[in-house]
A = this chain, B = another copy of it.
Amino acid sequence: MAGPSHAPLQTRRQLLGRIGTLAGSAALYQAMTSMGHAMGTDFSGPPNLSGAKPGTSVLVLGAGLAGMLSAYELRKAGYDVQVLEFQTRSGGRNISLRGGDTVAELGGATQKVGFAAGNYLNPGPWRIPYHHQALLHYCREFGVQLEPFIELNHNSWLHSTGFFGGKVVRYRELAADFTGFTAELLAKAVDQHKLDDLVSADEVAYLKNAMRGWGALTPDLQYTKGTLSSLRRGFEKPQGGGPDGAPVPSELMNRDEIWKSGMWNWMAFHERLDMQTTMFQPVGGMDSIGKAFARQLPGLIHLNCKVTAIHQDNSGVSVTYNDMGHSGAVRHARADYCVCTIPLSILSQLDVQVSDGMKAAIAAVPYGSSVKLGLEFKRRFWEEDDKIYGGISFTNQPISQVSYPSHGIFSKGPAVLLGGYMFGPAAYDFAGMTPQERLEKGIKQGLAFHPQYRKEFLNGVSYAWSRTPWTLGCCALWSEEARKTHYQALCAVDQRVVLAGEHASYVGCWQEGAVLSALDAVTRLHKRALGAA
Protein backbone atom coordinates (compact mmCIF):
# COMPACT_ATOMS: atom_id res chain seq x y z
CA MET A 1 0.00 0.00 0.00
CA ALA A 2 1.66 3.19 -1.18
CA GLY A 3 1.50 6.32 0.92
CA PRO A 4 3.70 9.36 1.41
CA SER A 5 5.68 9.66 4.59
CA HIS A 6 5.31 12.91 6.43
CA ALA A 7 9.02 13.62 6.63
CA PRO A 8 10.14 16.93 5.10
CA LEU A 9 10.92 16.70 1.41
CA GLN A 10 14.63 17.31 1.62
CA THR A 11 15.12 14.69 4.28
CA ARG A 12 13.22 12.20 2.17
CA ARG A 13 15.36 12.96 -0.85
CA GLN A 14 18.52 12.53 1.21
CA LEU A 15 17.18 9.28 2.57
CA LEU A 16 16.36 8.01 -0.91
CA GLY A 17 19.85 8.94 -2.06
CA ARG A 18 21.37 6.95 0.77
CA ILE A 19 19.20 3.94 0.17
CA GLY A 20 20.06 4.08 -3.52
CA THR A 21 23.78 4.20 -2.89
CA LEU A 22 23.84 1.52 -0.26
CA ALA A 23 21.44 -1.06 -1.49
CA GLY A 24 21.08 -0.79 -5.22
CA SER A 25 18.12 0.10 -7.34
CA ALA A 26 15.75 -2.64 -6.13
CA ALA A 27 15.86 -1.34 -2.58
CA LEU A 28 15.52 2.21 -3.84
CA TYR A 29 12.48 1.16 -5.78
CA GLN A 30 10.94 -0.49 -2.76
CA ALA A 31 11.60 2.61 -0.66
CA MET A 32 10.21 4.99 -3.25
CA THR A 33 7.08 2.89 -3.61
CA SER A 34 6.39 2.81 0.10
CA MET A 35 6.77 6.58 0.09
CA GLY A 36 4.21 6.94 -2.66
CA HIS A 37 6.65 8.13 -5.29
CA ALA A 38 6.88 5.27 -7.70
CA MET A 39 3.59 4.26 -9.23
CA GLY A 40 2.14 3.46 -12.60
CA THR A 41 4.69 2.34 -15.12
CA ASP A 42 8.30 1.97 -14.32
CA PHE A 43 9.61 5.47 -15.11
CA SER A 44 12.04 7.26 -12.87
CA GLY A 45 13.09 10.11 -15.13
CA PRO A 46 15.07 10.49 -18.35
CA PRO A 47 18.11 8.21 -18.70
CA ASN A 48 21.53 9.32 -17.64
CA LEU A 49 23.81 8.66 -20.63
CA SER A 50 26.83 10.65 -19.53
CA GLY A 51 30.30 9.97 -20.85
CA ALA A 52 29.53 9.05 -24.45
CA LYS A 53 32.68 8.85 -26.58
CA PRO A 54 32.64 11.66 -29.19
CA GLY A 55 32.08 10.42 -32.71
CA THR A 56 30.33 7.21 -31.75
CA SER A 57 27.49 6.68 -34.20
CA VAL A 58 24.11 4.99 -33.84
CA LEU A 59 21.69 4.05 -36.58
CA VAL A 60 18.07 4.02 -35.46
CA LEU A 61 15.62 2.00 -37.55
CA GLY A 62 12.04 3.23 -37.45
CA ALA A 63 10.72 6.71 -36.65
CA GLY A 64 7.88 5.73 -34.34
CA LEU A 65 7.92 6.90 -30.75
CA ALA A 66 10.52 4.31 -29.69
CA GLY A 67 12.86 5.18 -32.54
CA MET A 68 12.51 8.92 -32.23
CA LEU A 69 12.96 8.89 -28.46
CA SER A 70 16.03 6.65 -28.77
CA ALA A 71 17.47 9.09 -31.28
CA TYR A 72 16.60 12.06 -29.08
CA GLU A 73 18.26 10.74 -25.94
CA LEU A 74 21.31 9.35 -27.75
CA ARG A 75 21.91 12.58 -29.64
CA LYS A 76 21.48 14.58 -26.43
CA ALA A 77 24.15 12.33 -24.90
CA GLY A 78 26.54 13.17 -27.72
CA TYR A 79 26.10 10.31 -30.15
CA ASP A 80 25.95 10.79 -33.92
CA VAL A 81 22.47 9.62 -34.79
CA GLN A 82 20.57 8.94 -38.00
CA VAL A 83 17.05 7.53 -38.29
CA LEU A 84 15.82 5.45 -41.23
CA GLU A 85 12.06 5.28 -41.71
CA PHE A 86 10.10 3.21 -44.21
CA GLN A 87 7.04 5.44 -44.44
CA THR A 88 6.72 8.85 -46.06
CA ARG A 89 5.94 10.20 -42.58
CA SER A 90 7.35 9.83 -39.09
CA GLY A 91 5.25 8.83 -36.08
CA GLY A 92 4.72 5.12 -36.70
CA ARG A 93 1.50 3.90 -35.16
CA ASN A 94 0.99 7.33 -33.61
CA ILE A 95 -1.44 8.61 -36.25
CA SER A 96 -4.45 10.85 -36.67
CA LEU A 97 -6.61 10.80 -39.80
CA ARG A 98 -8.12 14.05 -41.08
CA GLY A 99 -10.08 15.22 -44.08
CA GLY A 100 -8.00 14.83 -47.26
CA ASP A 101 -5.82 12.03 -45.88
CA THR A 102 -5.54 8.80 -47.82
CA VAL A 103 -5.57 5.33 -46.28
CA ALA A 104 -4.06 2.68 -48.57
CA GLU A 105 -4.09 -0.88 -47.30
CA LEU A 106 -2.76 -4.24 -48.40
CA GLY A 107 -5.25 -5.75 -50.80
CA GLY A 108 -5.51 -2.58 -52.78
CA ALA A 109 -8.33 -0.67 -51.12
CA THR A 110 -7.77 3.04 -50.84
CA GLN A 111 -9.91 5.42 -48.81
CA LYS A 112 -9.98 9.18 -48.92
CA VAL A 113 -10.94 10.67 -45.57
CA GLY A 114 -13.86 13.06 -45.86
CA PHE A 115 -13.98 14.61 -42.37
CA ALA A 116 -14.72 18.31 -41.94
CA ALA A 117 -11.88 20.60 -40.92
CA GLY A 118 -10.87 20.09 -37.28
CA ASN A 119 -12.29 16.59 -37.02
CA TYR A 120 -10.08 13.53 -36.72
CA LEU A 121 -9.86 9.85 -35.85
CA ASN A 122 -6.96 8.31 -33.94
CA PRO A 123 -6.78 4.86 -35.59
CA GLY A 124 -3.95 3.71 -33.32
CA PRO A 125 -3.38 4.90 -29.76
CA TRP A 126 -6.11 7.25 -28.58
CA ARG A 127 -5.84 7.64 -24.80
CA ILE A 128 -3.15 8.02 -22.17
CA PRO A 129 -3.62 6.67 -18.62
CA TYR A 130 -2.44 8.83 -15.71
CA HIS A 131 0.24 6.31 -14.81
CA HIS A 132 1.98 6.39 -18.19
CA GLN A 133 4.45 8.76 -16.65
CA ALA A 134 7.21 8.34 -19.21
CA LEU A 135 4.99 9.38 -22.09
CA LEU A 136 3.46 12.19 -20.04
CA HIS A 137 6.96 13.37 -19.15
CA TYR A 138 7.99 13.74 -22.78
CA CYS A 139 4.66 15.32 -23.69
CA ARG A 140 5.44 18.04 -21.17
CA GLU A 141 9.07 18.30 -22.23
CA PHE A 142 8.15 18.60 -25.91
CA GLY A 143 5.19 20.94 -25.35
CA VAL A 144 2.35 18.60 -26.29
CA GLN A 145 -0.89 20.04 -24.93
CA LEU A 146 -3.08 17.42 -23.26
CA GLU A 147 -6.75 17.41 -22.33
CA PRO A 148 -8.90 14.99 -20.33
CA PHE A 149 -10.09 11.89 -22.17
CA ILE A 150 -13.44 10.81 -20.75
CA GLU A 151 -13.36 7.04 -20.39
CA LEU A 152 -16.10 6.28 -17.86
CA ASN A 153 -19.51 7.83 -18.48
CA HIS A 154 -22.37 6.79 -16.21
CA ASN A 155 -24.85 7.89 -18.85
CA SER A 156 -23.50 5.91 -21.78
CA TRP A 157 -25.39 2.93 -23.19
CA LEU A 158 -24.84 -0.77 -22.65
CA HIS A 159 -26.33 -3.29 -25.03
CA SER A 160 -26.46 -7.06 -25.26
CA THR A 161 -28.54 -8.63 -28.01
CA GLY A 162 -29.81 -11.49 -25.87
CA PHE A 163 -30.80 -9.62 -22.74
CA PHE A 164 -33.25 -7.02 -21.51
CA GLY A 165 -35.24 -7.48 -24.67
CA GLY A 166 -32.26 -6.35 -26.72
CA LYS A 167 -32.82 -2.81 -25.48
CA VAL A 168 -30.06 -0.51 -24.32
CA VAL A 169 -29.63 0.35 -20.66
CA ARG A 170 -27.69 3.20 -19.15
CA TYR A 171 -24.36 2.37 -17.51
CA ARG A 172 -25.64 3.92 -14.26
CA GLU A 173 -28.67 1.61 -14.25
CA LEU A 174 -26.56 -1.50 -14.59
CA ALA A 175 -23.92 -0.32 -12.13
CA ALA A 176 -26.50 0.62 -9.50
CA ASP A 177 -28.44 -2.63 -9.80
CA PHE A 178 -25.36 -4.85 -9.98
CA THR A 179 -24.00 -3.16 -6.86
CA GLY A 180 -27.33 -3.21 -5.07
CA PHE A 181 -28.09 -6.88 -5.72
CA THR A 182 -24.54 -7.94 -4.89
CA ALA A 183 -24.66 -6.02 -1.62
CA GLU A 184 -28.09 -7.36 -0.75
CA LEU A 185 -27.09 -10.99 -1.25
CA LEU A 186 -23.86 -10.69 0.72
CA ALA A 187 -25.53 -8.67 3.50
CA LYS A 188 -28.23 -11.32 3.86
CA ALA A 189 -25.72 -14.16 3.82
CA VAL A 190 -23.82 -12.50 6.62
CA ASP A 191 -26.95 -11.45 8.47
CA GLN A 192 -28.18 -15.03 8.46
CA HIS A 193 -24.80 -16.20 9.82
CA LYS A 194 -24.13 -18.24 6.73
CA LEU A 195 -20.56 -17.00 6.44
CA ASP A 196 -19.53 -17.34 10.07
CA ASP A 197 -16.70 -19.64 8.99
CA LEU A 198 -15.25 -16.87 6.80
CA VAL A 199 -16.22 -13.68 8.61
CA SER A 200 -15.54 -13.09 12.31
CA ALA A 201 -18.30 -11.98 14.66
CA ASP A 202 -16.51 -8.66 15.04
CA GLU A 203 -16.38 -8.16 11.28
CA VAL A 204 -20.04 -9.00 10.61
CA ALA A 205 -21.62 -5.75 11.77
CA TYR A 206 -19.17 -3.61 9.83
CA LEU A 207 -19.54 -5.71 6.72
CA LYS A 208 -23.34 -5.44 6.83
CA ASN A 209 -23.07 -1.72 7.31
CA ALA A 210 -20.69 -1.44 4.38
CA MET A 211 -23.02 -3.43 2.12
CA ARG A 212 -25.95 -1.26 3.17
CA GLY A 213 -24.15 2.00 2.47
CA TRP A 214 -22.27 0.96 -0.64
CA GLY A 215 -25.23 -0.91 -2.12
CA ALA A 216 -27.90 1.70 -1.35
CA LEU A 217 -29.85 -0.88 0.64
CA THR A 218 -32.81 -0.12 2.89
CA PRO A 219 -32.24 -0.44 6.66
CA ASP A 220 -33.51 -4.03 6.45
CA LEU A 221 -30.92 -4.85 3.80
CA GLN A 222 -33.18 -4.84 0.74
CA TYR A 223 -32.27 -3.43 -2.65
CA THR A 224 -35.64 -2.24 -3.89
CA LYS A 225 -37.33 0.26 -6.14
CA GLY A 226 -37.35 3.57 -4.28
CA THR A 227 -35.52 6.80 -3.63
CA LEU A 228 -32.35 5.10 -2.41
CA SER A 229 -31.86 3.07 -5.56
CA SER A 230 -33.07 5.82 -7.89
CA LEU A 231 -30.52 8.25 -6.43
CA ARG A 232 -27.98 5.93 -8.08
CA ARG A 233 -29.70 4.56 -11.18
CA GLY A 234 -31.80 7.63 -12.00
CA PHE A 235 -35.50 8.34 -11.49
CA GLU A 236 -38.39 7.47 -13.77
CA LYS A 237 -39.58 11.08 -13.40
CA PRO A 238 -36.56 13.12 -12.35
CA GLN A 239 -36.37 15.73 -9.62
CA GLY A 240 -37.78 19.07 -10.68
CA GLY A 241 -38.76 22.55 -9.53
CA GLY A 242 -42.02 23.88 -8.12
CA PRO A 243 -45.14 22.03 -6.99
CA ASP A 244 -44.72 19.08 -9.38
CA GLY A 245 -41.02 18.63 -8.67
CA ALA A 246 -41.23 15.42 -6.68
CA PRO A 247 -39.36 12.58 -8.40
CA VAL A 248 -40.78 9.13 -9.19
CA PRO A 249 -38.50 6.13 -8.62
CA SER A 250 -37.52 3.85 -11.48
CA GLU A 251 -37.96 0.10 -11.87
CA LEU A 252 -35.01 -2.19 -11.23
CA MET A 253 -33.55 -4.55 -13.80
CA ASN A 254 -33.97 -8.31 -13.45
CA ARG A 255 -31.31 -9.63 -11.12
CA ASP A 256 -30.55 -12.88 -12.90
CA GLU A 257 -30.30 -11.19 -16.30
CA ILE A 258 -27.63 -8.90 -14.87
CA TRP A 259 -25.32 -11.84 -14.11
CA LYS A 260 -26.25 -13.70 -17.29
CA SER A 261 -25.85 -10.79 -19.68
CA GLY A 262 -22.18 -10.40 -18.85
CA MET A 263 -22.71 -6.63 -18.88
CA TRP A 264 -20.83 -6.44 -15.59
CA ASN A 265 -17.70 -6.96 -17.69
CA TRP A 266 -18.05 -3.33 -18.73
CA MET A 267 -18.09 -2.22 -15.11
CA ALA A 268 -14.95 -4.24 -14.45
CA PHE A 269 -13.38 -2.74 -17.58
CA HIS A 270 -13.29 0.74 -16.05
CA GLU A 271 -11.55 -0.56 -12.93
CA ARG A 272 -8.59 -1.96 -14.87
CA LEU A 273 -5.41 -0.04 -14.12
CA ASP A 274 -5.09 0.85 -17.80
CA MET A 275 -8.62 2.27 -18.03
CA GLN A 276 -8.93 4.16 -14.76
CA THR A 277 -9.52 7.89 -14.53
CA THR A 278 -7.87 10.36 -15.13
CA MET A 279 -6.99 9.73 -18.78
CA PHE A 280 -5.68 12.18 -21.37
CA GLN A 281 -5.50 12.82 -25.07
CA PRO A 282 -3.41 15.35 -26.98
CA VAL A 283 -5.36 18.41 -28.08
CA GLY A 284 -6.07 18.17 -31.81
CA GLY A 285 -5.19 14.52 -32.35
CA MET A 286 -2.82 11.85 -31.09
CA ASP A 287 -0.28 12.68 -33.79
CA SER A 288 0.56 15.87 -31.90
CA ILE A 289 2.89 13.61 -29.96
CA GLY A 290 4.59 12.08 -32.98
CA LYS A 291 5.01 15.51 -34.53
CA ALA A 292 6.47 16.91 -31.32
CA PHE A 293 8.93 14.04 -31.12
CA ALA A 294 9.92 14.58 -34.76
CA ARG A 295 10.51 18.30 -34.14
CA GLN A 296 13.30 17.35 -31.73
CA LEU A 297 15.22 15.66 -34.56
CA PRO A 298 15.57 18.19 -37.38
CA GLY A 299 17.35 16.67 -40.36
CA LEU A 300 17.99 13.32 -38.68
CA ILE A 301 14.98 11.37 -39.93
CA HIS A 302 15.30 9.91 -43.43
CA LEU A 303 11.93 8.85 -44.84
CA ASN A 304 11.26 6.33 -47.62
CA CYS A 305 14.00 3.98 -46.48
CA LYS A 306 12.88 0.36 -46.67
CA VAL A 307 15.34 -1.65 -44.61
CA THR A 308 16.08 -5.11 -46.03
CA ALA A 309 19.11 -6.29 -44.06
CA ILE A 310 20.93 -5.62 -40.79
CA HIS A 311 24.44 -7.03 -40.55
CA GLN A 312 27.08 -6.53 -37.94
CA ASP A 313 30.75 -7.32 -37.37
CA ASN A 314 33.36 -6.43 -34.77
CA SER A 315 33.58 -2.83 -35.86
CA GLY A 316 30.00 -1.83 -36.58
CA VAL A 317 26.54 -2.37 -38.04
CA SER A 318 25.65 -2.23 -41.72
CA VAL A 319 22.10 -1.65 -42.81
CA THR A 320 20.91 -2.20 -46.35
CA TYR A 321 17.81 -0.39 -47.54
CA ASN A 322 15.87 0.56 -50.64
CA ASP A 323 15.57 4.28 -51.18
CA MET A 324 11.92 4.35 -52.17
CA GLY A 325 12.14 8.01 -53.12
CA HIS A 326 14.64 7.00 -55.79
CA SER A 327 13.05 4.01 -57.47
CA GLY A 328 14.07 1.71 -54.67
CA ALA A 329 17.78 2.17 -55.24
CA VAL A 330 19.78 -0.09 -52.93
CA ARG A 331 21.80 1.87 -50.38
CA HIS A 332 23.89 1.08 -47.33
CA ALA A 333 24.28 2.84 -44.04
CA ARG A 334 26.86 2.05 -41.39
CA ALA A 335 27.27 2.99 -37.77
CA ASP A 336 28.94 1.78 -34.60
CA TYR A 337 25.63 0.67 -33.10
CA CYS A 338 22.02 0.14 -34.05
CA VAL A 339 18.68 0.57 -32.26
CA CYS A 340 16.09 -1.35 -34.26
CA THR A 341 12.44 -0.48 -33.57
CA ILE A 342 10.95 -2.23 -36.60
CA PRO A 343 7.86 -4.22 -35.53
CA LEU A 344 8.61 -7.93 -35.14
CA SER A 345 5.97 -8.75 -37.75
CA ILE A 346 8.18 -6.99 -40.31
CA LEU A 347 11.59 -7.64 -38.77
CA SER A 348 11.00 -11.38 -38.85
CA GLN A 349 10.94 -11.16 -42.66
CA LEU A 350 14.25 -9.30 -43.01
CA ASP A 351 17.82 -10.52 -43.20
CA VAL A 352 18.98 -9.81 -39.66
CA GLN A 353 22.34 -10.92 -38.36
CA VAL A 354 21.75 -11.53 -34.67
CA SER A 355 22.06 -14.50 -32.31
CA ASP A 356 19.88 -17.52 -32.86
CA GLY A 357 18.11 -16.74 -29.60
CA MET A 358 17.14 -13.26 -30.71
CA LYS A 359 16.12 -14.58 -34.12
CA ALA A 360 13.86 -17.11 -32.49
CA ALA A 361 12.40 -14.41 -30.28
CA ILE A 362 11.74 -12.13 -33.25
CA ALA A 363 9.84 -14.96 -34.93
CA ALA A 364 7.95 -16.04 -31.83
CA VAL A 365 5.55 -13.19 -31.20
CA PRO A 366 2.32 -12.91 -33.20
CA TYR A 367 0.78 -9.51 -33.87
CA GLY A 368 -2.79 -8.63 -32.96
CA SER A 369 -5.35 -7.51 -35.48
CA SER A 370 -7.57 -4.56 -34.79
CA VAL A 371 -9.92 -2.42 -36.84
CA LYS A 372 -11.28 1.00 -36.01
CA LEU A 373 -14.18 2.80 -37.65
CA GLY A 374 -14.43 6.57 -37.68
CA LEU A 375 -17.90 7.88 -38.48
CA GLU A 376 -18.69 11.52 -39.10
CA PHE A 377 -22.21 12.77 -38.43
CA LYS A 378 -23.95 16.07 -39.13
CA ARG A 379 -24.37 16.86 -35.47
CA ARG A 380 -23.64 15.54 -31.97
CA PHE A 381 -26.95 13.75 -31.51
CA TRP A 382 -25.39 11.60 -28.76
CA GLU A 383 -25.04 14.83 -26.78
CA GLU A 384 -28.10 16.71 -27.94
CA ASP A 385 -30.57 13.80 -27.84
CA ASP A 386 -28.99 11.21 -25.55
CA LYS A 387 -27.06 13.45 -23.12
CA ILE A 388 -23.89 11.43 -23.55
CA TYR A 389 -20.78 13.57 -23.24
CA GLY A 390 -17.67 11.55 -24.01
CA GLY A 391 -17.15 8.00 -22.77
CA ILE A 392 -18.01 4.68 -24.34
CA SER A 393 -21.17 2.73 -25.11
CA PHE A 394 -20.59 -1.02 -25.16
CA THR A 395 -22.31 -3.81 -27.08
CA ASN A 396 -21.80 -7.54 -27.52
CA GLN A 397 -22.00 -7.04 -31.29
CA PRO A 398 -18.75 -7.20 -33.29
CA ILE A 399 -18.21 -3.40 -33.24
CA SER A 400 -17.83 -3.87 -29.45
CA GLN A 401 -18.07 -0.17 -28.64
CA VAL A 402 -18.93 3.32 -29.75
CA SER A 403 -16.75 6.03 -28.23
CA TYR A 404 -17.80 9.67 -28.20
CA PRO A 405 -15.32 12.52 -28.61
CA SER A 406 -14.05 14.04 -25.35
CA HIS A 407 -13.20 17.24 -27.17
CA GLY A 408 -15.54 19.83 -28.62
CA ILE A 409 -18.36 18.80 -26.28
CA PHE A 410 -21.43 21.05 -26.77
CA SER A 411 -20.09 22.35 -30.08
CA LYS A 412 -22.19 22.58 -33.24
CA GLY A 413 -21.48 21.08 -36.63
CA PRO A 414 -20.21 17.72 -37.81
CA ALA A 415 -18.37 15.49 -35.36
CA VAL A 416 -16.56 12.16 -35.55
CA LEU A 417 -17.12 9.28 -33.19
CA LEU A 418 -15.33 5.96 -32.96
CA GLY A 419 -17.99 3.75 -34.48
CA GLY A 420 -16.30 0.45 -33.72
CA TYR A 421 -13.10 -0.90 -32.22
CA MET A 422 -12.59 -4.53 -33.06
CA PHE A 423 -9.88 -6.76 -31.65
CA GLY A 424 -9.28 -10.45 -32.33
CA PRO A 425 -11.71 -12.48 -34.46
CA ALA A 426 -14.09 -9.58 -35.15
CA ALA A 427 -11.13 -7.57 -36.38
CA TYR A 428 -10.24 -10.26 -38.90
CA ASP A 429 -13.86 -10.38 -40.07
CA PHE A 430 -13.94 -6.62 -40.58
CA ALA A 431 -10.49 -6.54 -42.18
CA GLY A 432 -11.83 -9.03 -44.72
CA MET A 433 -14.55 -6.67 -45.89
CA THR A 434 -14.31 -3.75 -48.26
CA PRO A 435 -14.12 -0.35 -46.55
CA GLN A 436 -17.70 0.31 -47.68
CA GLU A 437 -18.92 -2.96 -46.16
CA ARG A 438 -17.18 -2.16 -42.88
CA LEU A 439 -18.93 1.19 -42.62
CA GLU A 440 -22.29 -0.31 -43.49
CA LYS A 441 -21.81 -3.02 -40.85
CA GLY A 442 -20.69 -0.46 -38.29
CA ILE A 443 -23.70 1.74 -38.93
CA LYS A 444 -26.10 -1.18 -38.79
CA GLN A 445 -24.76 -2.38 -35.45
CA GLY A 446 -24.52 1.14 -34.05
CA LEU A 447 -28.25 1.60 -34.65
CA ALA A 448 -28.73 -0.44 -31.47
CA PHE A 449 -27.54 2.64 -29.59
CA HIS A 450 -28.46 5.42 -31.94
CA PRO A 451 -31.47 5.33 -34.27
CA GLN A 452 -30.23 8.72 -35.48
CA TYR A 453 -27.30 7.08 -37.32
CA ARG A 454 -28.90 6.79 -40.77
CA LYS A 455 -30.30 10.27 -40.85
CA GLU A 456 -27.20 12.02 -39.55
CA PHE A 457 -24.41 10.04 -41.24
CA LEU A 458 -22.01 11.98 -43.46
CA ASN A 459 -19.01 9.76 -44.16
CA GLY A 460 -16.56 7.40 -42.56
CA VAL A 461 -13.22 5.69 -42.68
CA SER A 462 -11.95 2.34 -41.45
CA TYR A 463 -8.45 1.39 -40.45
CA ALA A 464 -7.48 -2.30 -40.53
CA TRP A 465 -4.14 -2.81 -38.82
CA SER A 466 -3.61 -6.29 -40.23
CA ARG A 467 -3.67 -4.70 -43.69
CA THR A 468 -1.20 -1.96 -42.81
CA PRO A 469 1.94 -2.77 -44.82
CA TRP A 470 4.47 -1.43 -42.32
CA THR A 471 3.17 -3.31 -39.23
CA LEU A 472 0.93 -6.15 -40.44
CA GLY A 473 -1.00 -5.88 -37.18
CA CYS A 474 -1.49 -3.48 -34.35
CA CYS A 475 0.92 -4.72 -31.69
CA ALA A 476 2.82 -7.70 -30.27
CA LEU A 477 0.69 -10.23 -28.42
CA TRP A 478 2.98 -12.00 -25.96
CA SER A 479 1.71 -15.25 -24.53
CA GLU A 480 2.93 -16.10 -21.05
CA GLU A 481 4.81 -19.04 -22.57
CA ALA A 482 6.53 -16.97 -25.26
CA ARG A 483 7.44 -14.36 -22.65
CA LYS A 484 9.16 -17.03 -20.56
CA THR A 485 11.06 -18.52 -23.48
CA HIS A 486 11.94 -15.51 -25.62
CA TYR A 487 11.58 -12.17 -23.86
CA GLN A 488 15.08 -11.91 -22.38
CA ALA A 489 16.69 -12.88 -25.69
CA LEU A 490 14.58 -10.29 -27.49
CA CYS A 491 15.65 -7.50 -25.14
CA ALA A 492 19.34 -8.38 -24.78
CA VAL A 493 21.93 -6.17 -26.49
CA ASP A 494 23.12 -8.44 -29.30
CA GLN A 495 26.71 -7.37 -29.93
CA ARG A 496 25.99 -3.94 -31.42
CA VAL A 497 22.27 -4.21 -31.98
CA VAL A 498 19.44 -3.64 -29.53
CA LEU A 499 15.70 -3.85 -30.19
CA ALA A 500 13.18 -1.37 -28.84
CA GLY A 501 9.43 -0.82 -29.12
CA GLU A 502 6.27 -1.81 -27.28
CA HIS A 503 7.15 -5.41 -28.17
CA ALA A 504 10.22 -5.17 -25.91
CA SER A 505 8.25 -4.16 -22.83
CA TYR A 506 5.67 -5.32 -20.29
CA VAL A 507 3.41 -2.44 -21.33
CA GLY A 508 2.53 -4.01 -24.66
CA CYS A 509 0.18 -2.32 -27.12
CA TRP A 510 0.65 1.04 -25.40
CA GLN A 511 2.81 3.99 -26.42
CA GLU A 512 4.20 3.92 -22.89
CA GLY A 513 5.71 0.53 -23.65
CA ALA A 514 7.50 1.92 -26.68
CA VAL A 515 8.83 4.85 -24.68
CA LEU A 516 9.96 2.79 -21.68
CA SER A 517 11.55 0.20 -23.93
CA ALA A 518 13.47 2.90 -25.78
CA LEU A 519 14.75 4.45 -22.56
CA ASP A 520 15.85 1.07 -21.32
CA ALA A 521 17.44 0.04 -24.63
CA VAL A 522 19.53 3.18 -25.06
CA THR A 523 20.68 2.96 -21.45
CA ARG A 524 22.02 -0.54 -22.00
CA LEU A 525 23.43 0.26 -25.43
CA HIS A 526 25.25 3.22 -23.89
CA LYS A 527 26.81 0.96 -21.28
CA ARG A 528 27.87 -1.43 -24.04
CA ALA A 529 29.37 1.45 -25.99
CA LEU A 530 31.34 2.46 -22.91
CA GLY A 531 32.55 -1.13 -22.61
CA ALA A 532 30.76 -1.53 -19.30
CA ALA A 533 28.27 -4.21 -20.36
Contacts and interface: CB of A to CB of B under 8 A. Distances in A.
A33 interface: yes
A194 B189 CA distance: 7
Interface stretch (A5-13, A292-300, A318-326, A417-425): A5-13
Interface in A213-235: 213-214, 216, 230-234
Interface in A1-36: 1-9, 29-30, 33, 36
Contacts of A413: none
**Copies of this chain in the oligomer:** 2
A350 interface: no
14 contacts: A1-B167, A1-B250, A9-B451, A42-B244, A148-B406, A152-B277, A153-B277, A153-B278, A154-B278, A182-B211, A185-B189, A189-B194, A203-B255, A241-B517
Contacts of A517: 241-242, 245
A507 B237 CA distance: 13
B182 A188 contact: no
A46 interface: no
A213 B268 contact: yes
Given A6-B448, A214-B265, A243-B492, 16 more contacts: A2-B169, A33-B236, A39-B234, A40-B234, A41-B238, A148-B409, A185-B186, A185-B189, A188-B198, A189-B194, A210-B259, A213-B268, A241-B504, A241-B506, A241-B513, A243-B487
Interface string A381-394: 00001110111000
Interface string A510-533: 000101111111001000000000
A504 B242 contact: yes
A129 to B, nearest CB: 9
B195 A189 contact: yes
A107 interface: no
Contacts of A38: 237-238
B169 A242 contact: no
Contacts of A242: 491, 504-505, 516-517, 520-521, 524
Interface in A278-331: 278, 280
A167 B3 contact: yes
A451 B4 contact: yes
A345 B493 CA distance: 75
Contacts of A142: none
A505 to B, nearest CB: 4
A133 interface: yes
Interface stretch (A172-180, A352-360, A469-477): A172-180
A457 interface: no
A62 to B, nearest CB: 15
Nearest to A454: B8
Given A206-B259, A238-B131, A271 B406 contact: no
Given A199-B185, A505-B242, A505-B245, A3 B168 contact: yes
Nearest to A187: B186
A447 interface: yes
Interface string A362-395: 0000000000000000000000011101110000
A273 interface: yes
Contact of A386 (B36, B206, B230, B487): B36
A148 B148 contact: yes
A488 interface: yes
A155 B131 contact: yes
Contacts of A75: none
A48 interface: no
Nearest to A149: B148
A27 to B, nearest CB: 12
A526 to B, nearest CB: 13
A507 B210 contact: no
A379 B392 CA distance: 34
B253 A1 contact: yes
A391 B238 contact: no
Contacts of A240: 41-43, 505-507, 516, 520
Contacts of A188: 195, 198
A498 B432 CA distance: 66
A478 B503 CA distance: 59
Contact of A154 (B194, B276, B505): B276
